[in-house]
Amino acid sequence: MIDTPDKPSRSGGRAGRRAKRQASSSPASREPYVERNFPLFRLLDEDGLQTIERNADIILRDVGMVFSGDPEVLLILAAAGARVEGERVYFEPGMCREIIQATAPADFTQHARNPANSLHIGGRSAVFSTVGGPPFVHDIDKGRRYATTEDHLNLLKIGHILPVLHATGGPCELMDVPIPERHLHGTYYQFRYSDKAIHGSVRSATAAKDTLAMARIVFGERYLEDNICIYAGVNTNSPLVLDDTMMAALKIYARANQAVLVSPYILAGAMGPVSIAGSLAQQLAEALGGLALVQLLRPGAACAMGTFIGSISMQSGAPAFGTPESIKGITIAAELARRLGVPLSCAGGAVTASKLPDAQAAFESTLTLQASFYAGVNYISHCAGWLEGGLTTGYEKMIIDADICSILQGFNKPLDLSEEGQAMDAVREVGPGSHYLGAAHTMRNFETAFWKPTVADNNTYEQWASEGAPDTAKRANGIWKAMLVDYQTPAMDPGIHEALRDYRDQRLKEIRTGE
Amino acid sequence: MIDTPDKPSRSGGRAGRRAKRQASSSPASREPYVERNFPLFRLLDEDGLQTIERNADIILRDVGMVFSGDPEVLLILAAAGARVEGERVYFEPGMCREIIQATAPADFTQHARNPANSLHIGGRSAVFSTVGGPPFVHDIDKGRRYATTEDHLNLLKIGHILPVLHATGGPCELMDVPIPERHLHGTYYQFRYSDKAIHGSVRSATAAKDTLAMARIVFGERYLEDNICIYAGVNTNSPLVLDDTMMAALKIYARANQAVLVSPYILAGAMGPVSIAGSLAQQLAEALGGLALVQLLRPGAACAMGTFIGSISMQSGAPAFGTPESIKGITIAAELARRLGVPLSCAGGAVTASKLPDAQAAFESTLTLQASFYAGVNYISHCAGWLEGGLTTGYEKMIIDADICSILQGFNKPLDLSEEGQAMDAVREVGPGSHYLGAAHTMRNFETAFWKPTVADNNTYEQWASEGAPDTAKRANGIWKAMLVDYQTPAMDPGIHEALRDYRDQRLKEIRTGE
């Protein structure tokens, strides 16, 4: 058990200063989520949106959706008016939408164990969440390898420190831990090493139950009844299947009044038609089916619609990210979710197929992040760290992505049109042909006027060269190392901590002895 | 003189295929510019826009603008109603706007010597232009060094090949050529080695006159009288100065009925107030003063308003790009230009302070490119190649940026809502739990359905590793080399070519002998 691997050494030097800059928003001053201050970017007209909605309805009516391995769900759907044939369920046009719109909240609060980090999900809000789940990790020192517990903790701590990230998840798999035990460690680590809002495990019914039990220890038994403390991402198995494992998790979280995200994962050409309009219709159909089930299980339960549309090369089968098709899909999906009246979660934050924290990784990630933010996505997943189509979490990539998130969040700061912001006294003072470096207005404002980069290097060529000419990845490497040195475990009530550990250890014992 | 440095060797291998893919749009099939198919992204409300416009008017009335070293211009401005004190000129609120709106065209065509490459500038169009002007070049083989004629030609040829770039410029300085001779070589090279629309030299009155003379040789003497064949970027000397060199070029091009861009270059905190609202007002004031002069010189002459707002670190003085402030400035400037009724040119395409074609270079460039494209900028300058705050043109950066431009241009392709695009037959055929790889709809559409990357690598880790694990820059290196091998000089009438060379050589002789 690696519970307190913090080293007592000191950070310092350039990387240390960079790390401090990136972490400079203290928990007290940082925003727990972003409230957009700009008109959303829209792409499709009313006719186009209606076409996709109509097609989703036709898919649900004529093709149906499979809810596999769960007779109870089939009974619930049949009782609500769906036509059930075997495990295939057909919905009349408008039925799912009606069920969802009758009871699903348009927005909700997800509580973090530190109330300062609680999230608003929906409306004009944007939550930036770290990468979740890759089995590999990469850094420029050791390259790519299977993720271990040490990596998991390191990345969790970096994600906790980065002020632009609002929610944690398992930043990589615990490949050195047996599968049935992973959720116990992962949930414990999320609660212990960060106090930001968490993701719930959907690995199995057991995992979902354990996650809830541990959340009840942290938040209090009764608190969970009326408050959302877990955000659980349930993937459909596209095309048009909700499998028994995911459905089990969906049922448990929904019935416990926790937030359920129903998210298709479509690589168009493989899990969806080789067409964005077609994949959007199928995606909407899958979300409608899944979210209707959530509302039937627990009317009023918090839920969100997910979107993920990538494309694959039909020559090689390789998935691609940051493509025109991805950006288009995100932008239109955001509209579709608003029209449905539920928050949109986009598993297309800083996504890329690149194997390295290089230019491709950066431009693909930026394109989808900027598109998600402009379009109004409420919960942007995988905002920092993703590499290699989600197979790898990159240490340096996490730091680089955080700077991109930071620029977008800085963009959200409204244009200052106060008298001081208009700066007319400065223009009058300086006049033509001079400069503003020493102007009174400049002296009053330069410290806070502009966004400050972290990993970006804006020095002269000569200064940069004198420092060893480090590329972005090299600088990011220094930053994450300094962050790990500076990391401080957030406070937790000793009694709660003990109970949490006891629960984990007890359950591990049960699993190992087959009880 | 390096007139025909093409090597007869053959391209091939992976880089060759990548190069072909990036250059795959033949001159016949490629779009000469982009007509936007989406609603523009807007940031500021009516009140905010009016505040900036009012402040620009107040600046022109109370602070004025210096038009230096040109008594004729002062007489023209005074005759139009401005108050002239020395070289400082004060305009009553609304005066410049009225002059501009009375005669300036809202949009215009810039002709290329190949009519298939002629540009529409204004309206919903976007022109993507290559980088212009850096004194250094960089590639990963030889690092950073002063730009030579060989580099100039190489980069010009790469820019000519890349289908996503619509206009050329001098892609780097000719540092191995004496300054007074550079424009003659540069203009000759632009005309000879590309048939895309060109930039006019603004280095001096002589340079502008020579550029016009050479354009008349290429297009025909009379053609230039009624047709715009040159786009000339005139920078104000912020704050609030139009100097004699730039003014001389402005006068010559405007009187010759060629397009004049009046573009401030503001690093807020140095050449403008340390405030975006303040720098936007000053920028608008400078553009109003310069564009009013253009219209007074030649009513109806084509012109464009420029925007460039970066920020500097007030600690180090280093300029920064791709910042929240830059993106905000671009987005608002696009609105201000539309309200003025002239096209907007943004010298903020793929801009970055990075010294290498790495992650920082890619994310900064993407942020400004995406912002410019979404906001409706009509002429996006420096779309490919810029490094180190505009001091360096990068060979690999050019290839990487072209992929970013290509994704944005792919995004512009309207969502296919035809019956085939809706793909409902595919969803019906495949049904739940299967896949689309062999579906009839997939087979009919997979070749053309989706955008194809060039420099991006979407292969598996194993395949990528087996190819030597190249990063993006390394792959870009192979692409530009293959492009240079494949480059074909566009056809030019031999008589025109001879006349063009003769003019250049005669003028070089005159300059060298001091005639």
A272-305 residue pLDDT tens: 999 999 999 999 999 999 999 999 999 999 999 9
Closest CA to B388 of B327, B321, B324: B321
Shortest alpha-carbon distance between residue B69 and chain A (Å): 13
Interface touch B451/A354, C-beta < 8 Å? no
Q: Are A302 and A284 in contact (CB under 8 A)?
A: no
Rg (CA), chain A: 24
Mean pLDDT of A470-482: 98
What stretches in chain B show pLDDT beneath 50? 1-11, 25-28
Sign of CA dihedral A485, A491, A495, A501: negative
Q: Which residues pair with A311 in a beta bridge?
A: A268, A320
Peptide bond into B239 cis (omega under 30): yes
Pull the structure tokens for residue B54: 């009012």
Q: Are A171 and A131 in contact (CB under 8 A)?
A: yes
Q: Which residue of B has its CA nearest to A422?
A: B278
| pLDDT at B12 (0 to 100) | 55
**Nearest 5°: CA angle at A378, between A257 and A99?**
50
Residue A2 pLDDT > 50: no
Does the beta carbon of B59 lie under 8 angstroms from any beta carbon of chain A? Answer: yes
Q: Which residue of B has its CA nearest to A327?
A: B411
Interface touch B363/A360, C-beta < 8 Å? no
Residue A508 pLDDT > 90: yes
Q: Which residue of A has its CA nearest to B404?
A: A363
**A421: which chain B residues are within 8 Å (Cβ-Cβ)?**
275, 277-278
Does the beta carbon of B93 lie under 8 angstroms from any beta carbon of chain A? Answer: no
Interface touch A451/B64, C-beta < 8 Å? no
Shortest alpha-carbon distance between residue A144 and chain B (Å): 10
**A389: which chain B residues are within 8 Å (Cβ-Cβ)?**
458
Residue A6 pLDDT > 80: no
**A442: which chain B residues are within 8 Å (Cβ-Cβ)?**
269, 273-274, 314
Does the beta carbon of A144 lie under 8 angstroms from any beta carbon of chain B? Answer: yes
Does the beta carbon of B342 lie under 8 angstroms from any beta carbon of chain A? Answer: no
Shortest alpha-carbon distance between residue A455 and chain B (Å): 8
**Nearest 5°: CA angle at A475, between A471 and A480?**
145
Interface of A with B in 477-506 (CB under 8 A): none
Which one of A36, A53, A286, A358 makes the best mutation probe of the B interface by having the most chain B beta carbons within 10 Å?
A: A358
- The partner residue sitting opposite B456, judged by closest CB among A325, A353, A391, is A353
Sign of CA dihedral A254, A260, A266, A272: positive
- The partner residue sitting opposite B324, judged by closest CB among A88, A237, A413, is A413
Predicted structure pTM score: 0.95
Interface touch A274/B446, C-beta < 8 Å? yes
- For chain B, what's the residue count? 515
- Distance (Å, whole) CA A301 – CA A291: 10
Q: Give the amino acid at A52.
A: I
| pLDDT at B23 (0 to 100) | 61
Rg (CA), chain B: 24
Shortest alpha-carbon distance between residue A28 and chain B (Å): 23
Does the beta carbon of A270 lie under 8 angstroms from any beta carbon of chain B? Answer: yes
Interface of B with A in 420-439 (CB under 8 A): 420-424, 426-428, 430-437, 439
CA trace torsion B211, B216, B218, B223 (10° rounding): 130
CA trace torsion B147, B151, B155, B157 (10° rounding): 150
Residue A171 pLDDT > 90: yes
Pull the structure tokens for residue A133: 């789940």
Tell how far CA B130 is from the center of its chain: 5
H-run or E-run covering A338? helix A324-340
Does the beta carbon of B391 lie under 8 angstroms from any beta carbon of chain A? Answer: yes
Shortest alpha-carbon distance between residue B198 and chain A (Å): 28
Determine the longest span between alpha carbons in chain A, in angstroms: 82
Shortest alpha-carbon distance between residue A221 and chain B (Å): 39
| pLDDT at A23 (0 to 100) | 61
Alpha helices in A376-449 (DSSP H): 395-411, 419-422, 424-430, 440-445
Q: Could you read off the pLDDT of B377-399 as tens digits, one per residue?
A: 999 999 999 999 999 999 999 99
| pLDDT at A3 (0 to 100) | 46
| pLDDT at A21 (0 to 100) | 62
Which one of A284, A411, A436 makes the best mutation probe of the B interface by having the most chain B beta carbons within 10 Å?
A: A436
Within 8 A by CB and 6+ apart from B460, the residues are A318
Q: Are A239 and B431 in contact (CB under 8 A)?
A: yes
Q: Which residue of B has its CA nearest to A280?
A: B422
| pLDDT at A4 (0 to 100) | 42
Q: Which residue of A has its CA nearest to B418?
A: A277
| 3-state secondary structure string across B234-293 | EECCCCCEECHHHHHHHHHHHHCCCEEEEECCEEECCCECCCHHHHHHHHHHHHHHHHHH
- Distance (Å, whole) CA A17 – CA B178: 44
Q: Could you read off the pLDDT of A242-256 as tens digits, one per residue?
A: 999 999 999 999 999
Within 8 A by CB and 6+ apart from B406, the residues are B22, B164, B451, B454
- Contact pairs from chain A to chain B, CB under 8 Å: 409
Interface touch B432/A374, C-beta < 8 Å? no
- Distance (Å, whole) CA B265 – CA B319: 12
Fold assignment, A31-36+102-411: TIM Barrel (3.20.20)
| pLDDT at B29 (0 to 100) | 63
The residue extents of the domains of chain A are: 31-36+102-411
Alpha helices in A8-70 (DSSP H): 13-22, 46-58
For tokens 């008349």, the residue is B216
Alpha helices in A42-178 (DSSP H): 46-58, 71-79, 95-103, 149-161
| pLDDT at B348 (0 to 100) | 76
Per-residue CA distances from B507 to B208, B224, B246, B484, B501 (Å): 13, 21, 22, 30, 10
| pLDDT at B4 (0 to 100) | 42
Q: Which residue of B has its CA nearest to A144?
A: B461
| pLDDT at A154 (0 to 100) | 98
Mean pLDDT of A57-77: 98
Interface touch B355/A469, C-beta < 8 Å? yes
**B324: which chain A residues are within 8 Å (Cβ-Cβ)?**
407-413, 450-451
Interface touch A64/B432, C-beta < 8 Å? yes
Buried b (16+ CB within 10 A) or exposed e, A373-388: bbbbbbbbbbbbbbbb
Which one of B436, B462, B474 makes the best mutation probe of the A interface by having the most chain A beta carbons within 10 Å?
A: B436
Interface touch B433/A355, C-beta < 8 Å? no
- The partner residue sitting opposite B459, judged by closest CB among A241, A270, A318, is A318
H-run or E-run covering B103? helix B95-103
| pLDDT at B330 (0 to 100) | 96
- Distance (Å, whole) CA B254 – CA A17: 51
- The partner residue sitting opposite A363, judged by closest CB among B366, B415, B430, is B366
Interface touch A41/B43, C-beta < 8 Å? no
| pLDDT at A17 (0 to 100) | 67
Which one of B458, B467, B472 makes the best mutation probe of the A interface by having the most chain A beta carbons within 10 Å?
A: B458
Does the beta carbon of B440 lie under 8 angstroms from any beta carbon of chain A? Answer: no
Q: What are phi and psi of A330, to 5 degrees?
A: -60, -45
**A420: which chain B residues are within 8 Å (Cβ-Cβ)?**
275
Interface touch A436/B41, C-beta < 8 Å? no
Which one of A458, A462, A480 makes the best mutation probe of the B interface by having the most chain B beta carbons within 10 Å?
A: A458
Within 8 A by CB and 6+ apart from A476, the residues are A357, A395, A396, A397, A398, A399, A400, A455, B359
Interface touch A449/B327, C-beta < 8 Å? no
Q: Which residues pair with A12 in a beta bridge?
A: none
Interface touch A239/B354, C-beta < 8 Å? no
Sign of CA dihedral B380, B381, B387, B390: negative
Interface of B with A in 171-230 (CB under 8 A): none
Helix B359-375 / helix A359-375 crossing angle, nearest 10 deg:
30
Does the beta carbon of A284 lie under 8 angstroms from any beta carbon of chain B? Answer: no
**B237: which chain A residues are within 8 Å (Cβ-Cβ)?**
433
